[in-house]
Structure 1
């Protein structure tokens, strides 16, 4: 019985599905850990919860302006700009 279920799910056709679900779970886990560890509005320890609402704008700005956002801020919002320019530029 167990070998038939293993043979049913571990076919080569199912590997891309496992990969896509694995990447999605990894991204969700990464975002969850980022929010728990670095979000200034999330307080896990009792000492931080007792502090109440803090007016710490610098920490919030540091959290919101992370490295990826700084990297893509002044870039063109295109996935492949050279191909887009090739097909849209009349010259």
Structure 2
């Protein structure tokens, strides 16, 4: 019985599903670790929780301005800007 269930789910057709699920779980795990270790509003230790609400705007700004956000700032939000410009702005 266990062998038939194992063979049912371990087929080559299911590999993309496992890959997509694995990538999604990895992204969620990375975000969880990022929030636990870097978010100024998350306090794991008892001493930090006892501090209450802190007005640490510099630390919050540092957390918000992550490297990905700095990389995409000023870039076009289009996926293929050259193709979009070709069809939306024809040369006369």
TM-score, length-scaled by structure 1: 0.92
Query: How many Å apart are 1:88 and its aligned residue?
Result: 2.8
Query: Which moved further from structure 2: 34-43 or 1-10?
Result: 1-10
Q: Point out where structure 1 has 5 or more consecutive residues left out of the alignment.
A: none
What is the aligned-residue RMSD (CA, Å)? 1.1
TM-score, length-scaled by structure 2: 0.91
Give deviations 1:32-70, integer Å, cap 9, x for gaps.
Answer: 110000000000001111111111100000001111111
Look up the match of 2:31: 31
Look up the match of 1:78: 78
Matched, 1:60 2:57: no
Which portions of structure 1, spanning 4 or more consecutive aligned residues, are displaced by more than 3 angstroms?
Answer: none
Query: How many Å apart are 1:84 and its aligned residue?
Result: 2.1
May I ask how many residue pairs the two structures share in their alignment? Answer: 91
Q: Point out where structure 2 has 5 or more consecutive residues left out of the alignment.
A: none
Look up the match of 1:2: 2
- Cα distance between partner residues in 1 of 2:15 and 2:87: 35
